[in-house]
Amino acid sequence: GQQVMQIPQYQHVQEGEDFTTYCNSSTTLSNIQWYKQRPGGHPVFLIQLVKSGEVKKQKRLTFQFGEAKKNSSLHITATQTTDVGTYFCADQFYFGTGTSLTVIP
């Protein structure tokens, strides 16, 4: 199956700093999903983006879908220790490589 690449693979930030993870596909995506997996846990659905250029917000999280529908990003403003985990984008049922976020108190 296809794989969507994510960068960076790892990110360490000080609490209060912002964080962004990028998701890139070589093919046009019909839609994209974002999940969060806490250490030792299972993925939890965050959001789905469908429209070209779509921007959705969930509190401190901002999700964007590129105009060409080949990339997406997740931005977290003012990170908190509760944001720790691995963030995955998914092309339908195929998961991206993930970005592991560590927040230093």
Rule CB under 8 A: which residues touch another protein?
1, 31, 33, 35, 41-45, 48, 88, 90, 92-98, 100
**CB nearer another protein, residue 43 or residue 66:** 43
Tokens in use for 79? Answer: 């990170």
> CB-wise, 5 or 77, nearer to another protein?
5
Residue 73: closest CA among 93, 57, 92, 94: 57
Residue 90 CA to residue 49 CA, distance in Å, equals 11
The DSSP output letter for 48 is E
**Tokens, residue 19:** 């964080």
Nearer to another protein among residue 50 and residue 78 (C-beta): 50
- Distance in Å, CB of 34 to another protein, minimum: 11
Instruction: Tell me the closest approach of the beta carbon of residue 95 to another protein, in angstroms.
Output: 4
